[in-house]
Structure 1
Amino acid sequence: MQFLRFADNFMALNEISHAFATSGFNANLITYLTQQLHLPLVEASNTLTNFSGTSSLTPVLGALAADSFAGRFWTIIAGSVFYQVGMVGLVASALLSPLRPPPCRRASGWQLAVLYVSLLCTSLGSGGILPCVVAFGADQFEEQRREKQQGGGAAAEADVAAAAERRRRYFNLFFLTVGSAMLLALTVVVYIQENVGWGGGSGSRPSPWYPLYVKLKPGGSPFTRLVQVAAAAFKKRNAAMPEDLGMLYQDVELDKLISSNGRLRHTNQLTRHVLRPGGDRDAGDITLSGHPNLWRLSTVHRVEELKSLVRLLPIWSAGIMLAAAGSHNYTFAVMQARTLDRHVAGRLNIPPATISIFSTTSTLITLALYDRAFVPLARRVTGLQSGVTYFQRIGIGLAIAIVSLATTALVETKRRAAAAEHGLLDKPSAIVPLSVFWMVPQFAVRGVFSLVGNMEFLYDQAPESMRSSAAALFWLAASLGNYTGTVLVTAVQRATRRRADWLQDNINRGSLDNYYWLVTCIMVLNFGYYLLYFRFYTI
């Protein structure tokens, strides 16, 4: 067990270095695009959200590779290499004068192409790291739980519960360590970029502790299995369900590689009208070689795999709008902070992108206090060992996000009023006599309830052979959320530019607060949708 912890610590270091490099660059990328490459605000914002969306979409490819043939460890290694190549390209783009435009001139197509290719490499690298590193760490605890479970008896049940509790704490600890790296990046890296130059950066590196890791074998492409189940269900849509459920098709040897924790049992959900495991055998269900034709005949375990994913999709989809609402933390919020008084202790002038430090600090405090303070108090009320379920944790996070957005709108209203009061509406580069610390509440109330709750929910509810794919769903929601943010910004700009343009390059003349209120209303509807489906969800 000590060796497992030792090995897992080094995998955590790999993710910490990845988070350090990513956060430091992403937080200030809007400044680089607008101040160094001279792109308009809306174009720069959409470029950043599209990049974030792509970075969150590539984990789907990484998860497919990990679950299909490569395994999680080697997918992380490959992702680290791609990420390092991308970081080298970004450093070159920032340092080499041919790759940077002259002062006050927009970057050329060639210069933007170099930047975009480098960003694509970092996105591909993140695609190998993000969906696998959390599940890979949890695998170390899963192996312990499996060994304890085989012992049987009351002691074994207690050990299994203890292993599950350690896994739950692992999710909190993982995000705590990554958050610490982000905190350091938002101070050190951003400061270097603003005051020294844009060449500073850091890449992630693969961990050499290969022999110490628990490496579960990939069970073949999960998406192929899902398509096979759907095809078989369609072909047998008119077949009658047998009264004796023992007649449903089972194949222990066939499912062995994808069911080491035990095969899933038949449930009645989605069975009557949608998905049916094989019952009576038809001609063509068994090939001439004696093996089942998986495009016509599915085992109960494989059908239940697909059911598990279908059940969690509505809960998962609520996170898309949550990601869309937060997709402009590194764009509009940074531009707001640039217009405010950023002095600390009289002389120190903090970079605009460092405002995100308050969100990271809030996250770290929440994670540090969650197990020590919140869980014991909630346990007294609910009687649950975990204090609250991950469903309740996600719901709390969605409600907090609504409060955060409303606070953001109110602060922007106050900022624009201060600019108007001091005659600065037509001076977008002037500093409004209002402290940047007015923006602290909108970042501080975010917390991590939805973040950790969503990841834990997806890992726990997904079949064991599809946990990398389930982790990829977390990042897919982030990807779709960022793309939704791009669509929303574009739609708002087109709808308002003929009258009172909400999203102008000069944010003092725009109505950014109206945009925030619009997103707040959408989030309220999203919260209602989550509560409606949560009421009918069955584990």
Structure 2
Amino acid sequence: MLPCFPSKVRSSSPESPPANTMESKEKRRGGLRTMPFILATDVCDRFAATGFSSNMITYLTQVLHMPMVQASNTLTNFAGTAALTPLIGGLIADSFAGRFWTIAVASVIYQLGMLCLTLSAILRGTRPPPCSGQQPCQEASTGQLWILYFSLLLTSIGSGGLRPCVVAFGADQLDLSKSKKTKDKTSNFFNWYYFCMGVASLLALTLVVYIQDNVGWGWGLGVPTIVMTISVVVFLLGYPLYVFYRPSGSPLTRLTQVVVAAIRKRSAIRPNDGNELYQNREMDASISITGRLLHSDQYKCLDRAAIITERDFTEGGNPKPWRLSTVHRVEELKSIIRTLPVWAATILLVTASSHQNTFSIQQARTMDRHLVGSFKIPPATMNVFTILSLLITLALYDHVIVPLREKYASKPVKWSYFRRMGIGMGVSILSTFVAGFVEVKRKNAAAQAGLLSQPRTTIPISVFWLIPQYSLHGISEAFTHVGHLQFLYDQSPESMRSFGIALFWIAISLGNYLSTLVVSLVHKYTGKEHNWLPNHNLNKGRLEYYYWFITGLQIVNLGYYIICTLFYTYKPLEVAPLENQANGVDGNGHVELAASGVNEREIRDPEVGAARSV
């Protein structure tokens, strides 16, 4: 499942180390001691990524002189590509490379992209000359844009290896702890993960953005590049402490084999008793380390892949994988299919939040940004309020909301990820709704001051009117994104958790691409005279209509999400006893599951976070 290193498969011969020796070696691997290395790595990565991209709309419009809509679409396309590549990275990690090496190599590629863009900001020939007087600004040439796109492509490829693997790699370090506490530990890990990411983003939005706006883009992009180098070193230093799960082969191959086998047996009669379907514990050992998936009654057409016929075995008695799949492998495919409707509901949430780094920053640039005396807040620093509200919400959730819920509830349970995501979606609706009214107030202030035709003149209205929409967005992210990560990690098959986390980033990718499509269509079909999203003068636009249009779409999306959660079926998991899990850890920290059977059957209830015997 996780990073792979060349080593021999653990054997059950008498030469194997005694159980107590294996137990002592296991205790030296994984656990909370690995968290400083993993979280510090991702903190550095998030600091670099946020400092690199949060103010990029300013770089594109003020340095490369791109029109606003083109710059907005460039950023959302880049964000979409960067969020799409984790699917490839997750498959590479789960199939053969392992998460450790995927993270290490991806970090280097990401750093190369940052270095290229930093050099383009320093060298004169790689950017157009500054604007002079009232003359039209010279836009970047084709060659200069190609340097930009190549740099962004490298960072997108690097993101593909980092994003799906770092989260899952960290959570897996806690997976070998006491089984009844595993749910709480992984839930807390996701909270801490997102909290640390928030702190890193906060530092980047204050320090790096200030350097970019007041010192220069060379240092403004160079600082994140240096920090990214530190993240690689810190991650490698933790190598002796990590637990490594062996990659179990391409999950896409297994899923395809299930589909092909089911099609080949489409005329076969499905038995009434699910116990008559094919099961092979030894065959599934490497992909069922902590437990085995049980048969479910959903998507019965796929069960045909596990129907046993005479033609399904070789002369040596081995099953033909393209004709016969085990129940566990069939249920892997079912588990992924079950998550898709809920997963799809998060796409529009990303579309709604994408304006925080584009149109909202352009709004802030036109407003009075004075804080103390002559000190002016950089427009992109307004995202600080998103991060602050996110951090406060995460802290209150863990230390106030959950304890109160457990104290006064009829039974001590934590809020499920479905409730958490639903709350976040509701807050996101409120965020875009409020944003529309703030835009109306901003334009009214411009009209009263006679500045509607002067897009570069500061409007006499405080930039702090934008705080509500930024803060509500942070609260929404604290609920929705953390719940979404926990949902995908928990409901994905254990051998496909990198793939599951990659789905989180694919939703972000599709959300950004959808934002590009919506912005392009709105810009094209809302006329020239009163265009909702004009290229050069936001004061004459109808940005509030765009916000309210997105609000309406989100209301419909929330209704769809509620329906999906009401009919969702959790994956049925037979939990392996703790001693069976421990027996799979060798002295090098690699994890395998012994071929011995499971002595006790337990089904984990995701709502309660505990296992019950059956």
TM-score of the aligned structures, taking structure 2 as reference length: 0.83
- Residue 181 of structure 1, CA deviation: 0.4
- Distance, in Å, in 1 between the alignment partners of 2:325 and 2:28 is 41
Distance in 1 separating the partners of 2:333 and 2:87: 17
> Does structure 1 residue 305 correspond to structure 2 residue 332?
yes
Q: Deviations over 1:30-87 (max 9, x none)?
A: 0000000001000000000000001101111110011000111111101111111111
> Are the equivalent residues in 1 in contact too, given 2:432–2:551 (CA < 8 A)?
yes
The answer to whether the 8 Å contact 1:315/1:530 transfers is yes
Structure 1, gaps ≥5 residues long: 146-159
Write out per-residue CA displacement over residues 487-535 of structure 1, whole angstroms, 9 at most, x where no aligned residue: 0000101111345211112000000010001000000010010011111
**Residues 358 and 440, structure 1, Cα contact 8 Å, conserved in 2:** yes
Q: Say which of 281, 284, 306 aligns to 2:309.
A: 281
Paired with 1:213 and 1:435, the residues of 2 have a C-alpha distance of: 50
Which runs of structure 2 are paired with 1:484-499 in the superposition (5 Å)? 484-499=514-529
Q: Do 1:68 and 1:221's aligned partners in 2 also have CA atoms closer than 8 Å?
A: yes
Establish whether residue 125 from structure 1 lines up as the match of residue 158 from structure 2.
Answer: yes
Instruction: Report matched runs for 1:378-397 at 5 Å.
Output: 378-383=405-410, 385-397=412-424
SS of equivalent to 1:50: helix
Shift in Å at residue 14 of structure 1?
1.1
Go from structure 1 to structure 2 and tell me whether the alpha carbon gap of 1:36 and 1:221 turns closer, same or farther (over 3 Å shift): same
Task: Give the secondary structure class of the aligned counterpart of 2:244.
Answer: coil
Partner residue of 1:514 out of 513, 537, 545: 545
Work out whether residues 143 and 214 of structure 1, in 8 Å CA contact, stay in contact via their aligned partners in 2: no
Q: Contact 1:49 / 1:328 at 8 angstroms: preserved in 2?
A: no
Equivalent position amino acid for 1:428 in 2 = P
Q: 1:141 aligns to what SS in structure 2? A: coil
The one-letter code sitting in structure 1 at the alignment partner of 2:190 is F
Distance 1:357 1:454 in 2: 23
- The answer (yes or no) to whether the contact 2:383–2:470 under 8 Å persists in 1 is yes
1:227 aligns with 2:256: yes
1:199 aligns with 2:218: yes
2:506 corresponds in structure 1 to 476
Match of 2:38 among 4, 8, 11: 11
Decide which of 374, 382, 387 is 1:347's aligned counterpart: 374
- 2:181 aligns with 162
- 5 Å matches for 1:179-218? 179-200=198-219, 201-203=223-225, 204=228, 205-206=231-232, 207-208=235-236, 209-218=238-247
What is the SS of the residue equivalent to 1:260?
coil
Output the amino acid matched with 1:178: M
**2:95 aligned with 1:65, yes or no?**
no
Q: How many Å separate the matches in 2 of 1:217 and 1:319? A: 31
Which residue of the partner structure matches residue 326 of structure 1? Answer: 353
**CA deviation vs aligned residue, 1:452-492 (integer Å, no higher than 9, x gap):** 00000000011100000000000000000000000000010
* Partner-residue secondary structure (3-state), 1:263: strand
Moved more, 247-256 or 381-390: 381-390
Corresponding position of 2:134: none
Distance 1:538 1:20 in 2: 38
How many residue pairs match? The answer is: 523
**Residue aligned with 1:508, SS:** helix
Structure-2 residue corresponding to 1:270:
299
**Separation (CA, whole Å) in 1 of partners of 2:458 and 2:303:** 61
Equivalence for 2:460: 433
Distance 2:519 2:407 in 1: 44
Residue type at the aligned position of 1:166: K
Q: Deviations over 1:274-300 (max 9, x none)?
A: 5434223142x2234432221211100
Cα deviation per residue 1:378-419 (whole Å; 9 max; x = unaligned)? 224544545311000000010000000101111011111111
**More deviation, 194-203/125-134:** 194-203
Question: Kindly tell me: are residues 111 and 383 of structure 1, through their superposed partners in 2, closer, same or farther at Cα, counting changes over 3 Å?
Answer: farther
> Which residue of structure 1 lines up, in the alignment, with residue 567 of structure 2?
536
Taking a change above 3 Å as real, the CA distance of residues 196 and 384 of structure 1, as seen in their structure-2 partners, is farther
Which stretch shifts more, 231-240 or 185-194?
A: 231-240
- Native 8 Å contact 1:101 1:108 kept in 2: yes
* 1:208-242: CA deviation from partner (whole Å, max 9, x where unpaired): 22111011111111111111111111221221122
Q: Displacement, 1:270?
A: 1.1
Q: 2:101 aligns with which of 67, 74, 77?
A: 74
Cα deviation for residue 442 of structure 1 reads 0.5
Are residues 1:114 and 2:147 paired? Answer: yes
Structure 2 residue runs of 5 or longer lacking an equivalent are 1-26, 131-136, 571-614
- CA 1:189 to 1:530, structure 2 compared with 1: closer, same or farther past 3 Å? same
Q: Which moved more, 1:462-471 or 1:97-106?
A: 97-106
Relative distance call for 1:383 and 1:174 in structure 2 (3 A) is farther
CA distance in 1, matches of 2:66, 2:319: 58
| Pairs within 5 Å for 1:417-428 | 417-428=444-455
What amino acid does structure 2 have at the position aligned with 1:526?
Answer: N
> 1:400-441 CA deviation, whole Å, 9 max, x = no partner?
000001011110111111111110100001111111110001
Counterpart of 2:415, as a letter, is V
Distance 1:337 1:506 in 2: 13
Deviation larger for 378-387 or 16-25: 378-387
In structure 1, C-alpha distance between the alignment counterparts of 2:527 and 2:244, rounded to whole Å: 55
CA contact (8 A) 1:8 1:213 kept: no
What is the identity percentage for the equivalent residue pairs of Structure 1 and Structure 2? 50
Q: Separation in 2 of the partners of 1:391 and 1:52?
A: 26
What is the root-mean-square deviation in Å for CA atoms of aligned residues? 1.4
Distance 1:390 1:2 in 2: 32
Give SS of 1:445's match: helix
